[in-house]
Chains A and B, each alone.
Chain A
Amino acid sequence: GENVEQHPSTLSVQEGDSAVIKCTYSDSASNYFPWYKQELGKRPQLIIDIRSNVGEKKDQRIAVTLNKTAKHFSLHITETQPEDSAVYFCAASSGNNRLAFGKGNQVVVIP
């Protein structure tokens, strides 16, 4: 089955700087890649996703890039703010209705 890995496990950034989280996946048939944000004590929420027919997608301060050849995709957060502090999960799906999740990254934005 699909195996998704995230790096780094913890990321600390100064407020206003950019944060980048990278995920790799193993199944070349995977075609859908969502990112979830989980604030402390809350449910994971979908913040952005990308399908394999595009290489990049942006939504205000967040963007996701996909490199199908290398089988990795990344989340970019620009101009980080304290409310960006959370655990971020990446996931991949090869069309079988099931997402394989990474273990999550703790992002800490230092004011």
Chain B
Amino acid sequence: DVKVTQSSRYLVKRTGEKVFLECVQDMDHENMFWYRQDPGLGLRLIYFSYDVKMKEKGDIPEGYSVSREKKERFSLILESASTNQTSMYLCASSFRGPGGYTFGSGTRLTVV
């Protein structure tokens, strides 16, 4: 079964901490994405990557950065966590071209 694995299901961090969210896919997908999901706001794209070492800003990149050193791994970094970054974070991947995404199970991050 194809998989997108997110390293943590639940995470609690303190304001100002640097936070790393990891995502690994085993489907040899070129594209990888990070979304955050908040009630009433749907899925909002933070960053995405079409290839190793490539990254592009999504709709809400402020306060976040990403790293893609290997094809299978896409990391989301919160440089200095703030309480308004408390959210569900979803990673997804897909093949190049128009096609469906496979999502990870999500990381529920709470910043206190």
Binding site for B on A (CB under 8 A): 31-32, 34, 36, 42-46, 49, 51, 89, 93-95, 97-99, 101-104
Residues of B within 8 A of A36 (CB): 103
Give the distance to chain A from B21, nearest Cβ to Cβ, in Å: 15
Q: Give the residue of A31, A43, A49, A99 whose beta carbon is less than 8 angstroms from that of B105.
A: A43
A36–B102 alpha-carbon span in the complex (Å): 10
- Which 5 A-B residue pairings sit nearest by Cβ, starting from the closest? A32-B98, A103-B42, A46-B100, A43-B103, A93-B98
B97 touching A95, Cβ below 8 Å: yes
A97 touching B42, Cβ below 8 Å: no
Give the distance to chain B from A33, nearest Cβ to Cβ, in Å: 9
Residues of A within 8 A of B45 (CB): 98
Give the distance to chain B from A19, nearest Cβ to Cβ, in Å: 19
A17–B62 alpha-carbon span in the complex (Å): 44
Binding site for A on B (CB under 8 A): 30-31, 33, 40-43, 45, 48, 50, 90, 94, 96-106
B106 touching A43, Cβ below 8 Å: yes
Could you show 28 A-B contacts with beta carbons less than 8 Å apart? A32-B98, A34-B101, A42-B105, A43-B104, A43-B106, A44-B43, A44-B101, A46-B102, A51-B98, A89-B42, A89-B43, A93-B98, A94-B98, A95-B98, A97-B31, A97-B48, A97-B50, A97-B94, A97-B96, A97-B98, A98-B45, A99-B101, A101-B42, A102-B42, A103-B40, A103-B41, A103-B42, A104-B42
What DSSP secondary structure best describes chain B's contact surface? loop
Residues of A within 8 A of B41 (CB): 103
Task: Check A32/B43 contact, CB under 8 A, given A42-B105, A43-B104, A44-B90.
Answer: no
A95–B50 alpha-carbon span in the complex (Å): 13
Residues of A within 8 A of B96 (CB): 97
Task: Check A49/B42 contact, CB under 8 A, given A43-B90, A97-B50, A97-B94.
Answer: no
Task: Check A44/B42 contact, CB under 8 A, given A93-B98, A97-B96.
Answer: no
